[in-house]
């Protein structure tokens, strides 16, 4: 059995969905369980609708709802001929659109943010896409069944932190999925969606469908977890900057995790952990070119070692905070308190460096609430530098080549690119540094040309 997860880019229109159905049909012998995201762009649209409802912007809500309905209905009309399956899916979609209106009315009525309402609204896209796809598979004559992932994907929610409850997920997956699998059915289910232990709607976070795939893969002990996207695998750099970026045939779990964490959007960073725990290989494939081999992510293998740097990733919208105070010299508790403040305000920390009296941390700039800065000022002189980027270069071979760090620093210095902060563990597979946002293209191009495409 395998998991096949298709992201929004793979099912964004009728043609794409037909292609995906063909891919699944060809691999039926491997007993795939299919995990789908919402159609490309739909989750963003649902977030816009939710925000419009909070701000009572009725006209915008009406326009967005009709665009969403038209898009799904047009696909239904194209994909499924008139008949019982069409009627069933049509009824389901209408029911979900009505539910969406009710939820948005509730958001408008209470006028304050409710995480339950928010999660219900933004999770609706996966309900629509999966029902459409399952109906289409049946219309093609395949034995498919639509299953609701929400009672299976049980999580604990603590503020913004989501922890999947693995034992419960495994138990629920066995109870709800096993007999369909034994009957040879193609299960179609939703990525991204989850439910808290108390039954409240939740999600696994943006781009979380990859994580769903690996959690289900681990729960059902599958042979392989496949992440199907719109690129030929994990590439040597972001293809939007480097057109000639090349797919990497193999990666270790550790390399993939680092790259995903530092911005290689093609894979959600949490995907690796459940797969790693159970030693299940993850393969990243292109739904536009399904016969390409893609990238296979495995615990370890020899060939990786020869190329020092394999890929480069970056994460924008980073703020560099530096606190300068003699308290940092004398009180270890001050550091604990600083991290406590960042955690309480939901700030994800990417890199940290400390000297005798200075502490620098880089955080993702999420949201406009800057009250945490006032809290941090209590500790000493605070410098806030926004619009930074964390860049990470990754490759198993870096362990054996400490001079690479020096080469990168020298190269960027000669190009006039200022590095703000460097973070690297000794004998590790990655190195990370902070630059100005405006220097991203030049930095990525330089490192890719000289140290990745050039072979290092
Ligand atoms: N190193 C990388 N390798 C592959 N893709 C990358 C990388 N860095 C960024 N990307 C981007 O990630 C995109 C795929 O992620 P995403 O749009 O979330 O796909 P999906 O809808 O399939 O989940 C690619 O189209 C590509 O532009
Ligand atoms: N639809 C959700 C979950 C997801 O994973 O989407 P995608 O696979 O298209 O990145 C989101 O946009 O966040």
pLDDT one-digit tens code per residue, 361-372: 999 887 777 888
Asked if the structure places residue 408 within a domain, the reply is yes
456, pLDDT greater than 60: no
Say if residue 354 carries a ligand binding annotation: no
**Of 28-42, 151-165, 417-431, where does mean pLDDT reach its minimum?**
417-431
Token couple for 385 = 């530098």
58, pLDDT greater than 80: yes
Please indicate, yes or no, whether residues 153 and 57 belong to a single structural domain of this protein: yes
Nearest ligand, CA 243: 1
Ligand 2: nearest atom to the Cα of 9: 9
Nearest ligand, CA 206: 2
Please indicate, yes or no, whether residues 98 and 224 belong to a single structural domain of this protein: yes
Phi, then psi, of 307 in degrees rounded to 5? -95, 120
- Atom 15 (ligand 1): residue with closest C-alpha? 266
Asked if the structure places residue 261 within a domain, the reply is no
Write b or e for each residue in 403-437: b if 16 or more Cβ atoms lie within 10 A of its Cβ, otherwise e. Answer: ebeebbeeebeeeebebbbebbeeeebbbbbbbee
What is the C-alpha end-to-end distance of the chain, expressed in Å?
A: 39
pLDDT one-digit tens code per residue, 280-296: 999 999 999 999 999 99
Asked if the structure places residue 234 within a domain, the reply is no
Ligand 1: nearest atom to the Cα of 237: 1
Nearest ligand, CA 204: 2
C-alpha 192 to ligand 2 mean position (Å)? 7
Confidence band for 426, pLDDT divided at 50, 70 and 90: low
pLDDT one-digit tens code per residue, 207-242: 999 999 999 999 999 999 999 999 999 999 999 999
Please indicate, yes or no, whether residues 317 and 216 belong to a single structural domain of this protein: no
Nearest ligand, CA 241: 1
Please indicate, yes or no, whether residues 215 and 317 belong to a single structural domain of this protein: no
Token couple for 164 = 């999947």
Identify the residue with better confidence: 213 or 303.
213
Please indicate, yes or no, whether residues 201 and 79 belong to a single structural domain of this protein: yes
Please indicate, yes or no, whether residues 337 and 203 belong to a single structural domain of this protein: no
- The CA angle 114-38-255, to the nearest 5 degrees, is 95
pLDDT recorded at residue 34: 98
Please indicate, yes or no, whether residues 222 and 315 belong to a single structural domain of this protein: no
pLDDT one-digit tens code per residue, 193-203: 999 999 999 99
Cβ–Cβ < 8 Å for 304, 252: yes
Please indicate, yes or no, whether residues 204 and 323 belong to a single structural domain of this protein: no
Mutate to test the pocket of ligand 2, among 37, 162, 210 (most ligand atoms within 8 A of CB): 37
Q: Which residue, 199, 229, 259, sits at the end of a domain?
A: 229
Please indicate, yes or no, whether residues 156 and 36 belong to a single structural domain of this protein: yes
Strands, sheet with 2-6, edge to edge from the N-terminal-most edge strand: 144-146, 186-190, 32-36, 2-6, 224-229, 282-286, 295-298, 250-252
Average pLDDT of the chain is 93
Q: What range does the domain containing 384 cover? A: 311-452
Phi, then psi, of 109 in degrees rounded to 5? -70, -40
Residues 438-445, mean pLDDT to the nearest whole number: 97
pLDDT one-digit tens code per residue, 328-341: 776 778 888 899 99
Ligand 1 surroundings by CB, under 6 angstroms: 7-10, 207, 229-231, 234-235, 237-240, 264-266, 311, 313
Mutate to test the pocket of ligand 2, among 12, 20, 43 (most ligand atoms within 8 A of CB): 43
Neighbours of 28 (CB within 10 A): 12
Asked if the structure places residue 251 within a domain, the reply is no
Identify the residue with better confidence: 102 or 357.
102
Say if residue 6 carries a ligand binding annotation: yes
306, pLDDT greater than 70: no
Asked if the structure places residue 242 within a domain, the reply is no
Asked if the structure places residue 38 within a domain, the reply is yes
Asked if the structure places residue 271 within a domain, the reply is no
Please indicate, yes or no, whether residues 190 and 327 belong to a single structural domain of this protein: no
C-alpha 38 to ligand 2 mean position (Å)? 6
Residues 343-352, mean pLDDT to the nearest whole number: 85
Mutate to test the pocket of ligand 2, among 7, 122, 210 (most ligand atoms within 8 A of CB): 7
Please indicate, yes or no, whether residues 173 and 54 belong to a single structural domain of this protein: yes
Q: Which residue, 229, 258, 274, sits at the end of a domain?
A: 229
CATH of residue 377's domain is: 3.30.2130.10
pLDDT recorded at residue 356: 85
pLDDT one-digit tens code per residue, 371-408: 889 999 988 899 999 999 999 999 988 888 878 888 99
Please indicate, yes or no, whether residues 200 and 319 belong to a single structural domain of this protein: no
Ligand 1: nearest atom to the Cα of 238: 8
Reference 262, options 48, 429, 63; nearest CA is 429
- Atom 9 (ligand 2): residue with closest C-alpha? 8
Confidence band for 319, pLDDT divided at 50, 70 and 90: very high
CATH of residue 139's domain is: 3.40.1160.10
Q: Which residue, 174, 198, 229, sits at the end of a domain?
A: 229
Domain count within the chain = 2
C-alpha 360 to ligand 1 mean position (Å)? 30
Q: What is the CA radius of gyration of the chain?
A: 23
- pTM exceeds 0.95 for this model: no
Torsion-angle region of 141 (φ positive above 0: left; ψ -120 to 50: alpha; else: beta)? left
Asked if the structure places residue 272 within a domain, the reply is no
Confidence band for 184, pLDDT divided at 50, 70 and 90: very high
């Amino acid at each position: 059995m395998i998991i096949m997860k298709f992201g929004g880019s793979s099912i964004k229109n009728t043609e794409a969905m037909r292609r995906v159905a063909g891919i699944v049909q060809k691999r039926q012998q491997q007993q795939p369980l299919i995990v789908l995201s919402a159609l490309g762009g739909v989750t963003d649209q649902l977030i816009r609708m939710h925000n419009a409802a909070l701000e009572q912007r009725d006209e915008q809500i009406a326009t967005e709802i009709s665009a969403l309905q038209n898009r799904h209905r047009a696909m239904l009309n194209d994909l499924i001929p008139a008949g019982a399956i069409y009627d069933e899916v049509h009824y389901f979609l209408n029911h979900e659109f009505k539910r969406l209106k009710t939820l948005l009315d509730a958001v408008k009525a209470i006028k304050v943010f409710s995480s339950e309402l928010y999660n219900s609204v933004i999770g609706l896209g996966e309900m629509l896409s999966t029902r459409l796809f399952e109906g289409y598979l049946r219309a093609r004559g395949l034995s498919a069944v639509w299953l609701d992932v929400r009672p299976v994907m049980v999580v604990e929610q603590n503020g913004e932190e989501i922890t999947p409850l693995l034992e419960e997920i495994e138990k629920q997956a066995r109870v709800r999925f096993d007999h369909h699998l034994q009957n040879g059915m193609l299960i179609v289910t939703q990525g991204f969606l989850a439910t808290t232990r108390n039954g409240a709607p939740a999600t696994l976070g943006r781009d979380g469908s990859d994580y769903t795939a690996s959690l289900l893969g681990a729960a059902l002990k599958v042979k392989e977890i496949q992440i199907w996207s719109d690129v030929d695998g994990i590439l040597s750099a972001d293809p939007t900057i480097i057109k000639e970026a090349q797919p990497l045939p193999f990666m270790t779990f550790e390399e993939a995790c680092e790259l995903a964490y530092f911005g290689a959007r093609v894979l959600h960073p949490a995907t690796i952990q459940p797969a790693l725990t159970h030693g299940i290989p993850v393969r990243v494939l292109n739904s536009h070119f399904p016969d390409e081999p893609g990238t296979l992510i495995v615990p370890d293998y020899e060939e990786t070692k020869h190329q020092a740097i394999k890929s480069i990733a970056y994460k924008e919208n980073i703020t560099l905070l530096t606190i300068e105070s003699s308290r940092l010299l004398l009180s270890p508790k001050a550091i604990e308190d600083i991290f406590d403040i960042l955690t309480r305000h939901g700030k994800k920390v990417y890199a940290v460096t400390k000297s005798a009296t200075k502490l620098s941390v880089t955080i993702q700039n999420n949201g406009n609430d800057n009250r945490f800065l006032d809290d941090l000022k209590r500790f000493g002189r605070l410098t806030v530098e926004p619009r930074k980027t964390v860049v990470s270069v990754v490759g198993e071979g870096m362990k054996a080549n400490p001079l690479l760090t020096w080469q990168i620093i020298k190269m960027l210095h000669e190009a006039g690119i200022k590095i703000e902060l460097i973070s690297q563990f000794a004998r590790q597979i990655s190195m990370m540094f902070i630059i100005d946002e405006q220097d991203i293209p030049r930095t990525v191009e330089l490192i890719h040309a000289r140290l990745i495409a050039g072979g290092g």
